[in-house]
Amino acid sequence: MKKIYLELDVSGTLGNEAWSKIEQPKGFIAADCQKTGDVPCTHTVKEPHTTGEWREVSVQIEDACVDDAVLFYKKDERILAVETED
């Protein structure tokens, strides 16, 4: 199992909506979405995330599927950055 680290743009969405709408690639095992980013949430949970808000997501992928998963995530407009563990 390998890990891929993503920066997910959540602006304009509510709660976990940005992540839940992404269809996952082959080999996906699990993900952990962190509440971090350059712009902290200062709005209520009933209001959408503001422009510039993003989250770190750590994704577990089967070893054989890592390269395809990286390409898959890079094609998604909400994914700002993709990195793999060494």
Res 39: pLDDT: 61
User: pLDDT value at position 80?
Assistant: 96
Range of the domain at 49: 2-84
**Which string of DSSP letters, residue by residue, matches the chain?**
-EEEEEEEE-TT--TTHHHHTSPPPTTEEEEEEES-SSS---S-TTSPPPTT-EEEEEEEE-GGGHHHHHHHHHTSTTEEEEEE--
Percentage of residues in the chain with pLDDT exceeding 70? 92
Give me the pLDDT at residue 50, please: 87
Higher pLDDT, 40 or 58: 58
Reply yes or no on whether the pLDDT at 74 is more than 80: yes
CATH of the domain at 78: 3.30.70
Q: Among 84, 82, 64, 63, which residue's Cα sits nearest to residue 72? A: 82
Domain count, the chain: 1
- The one-letter code for the residue type at 11 is S
Confidence of residue 36 (pLDDT cuts 50, 70, 90): low
Q: pTM for the whole thing?
A: 0.87
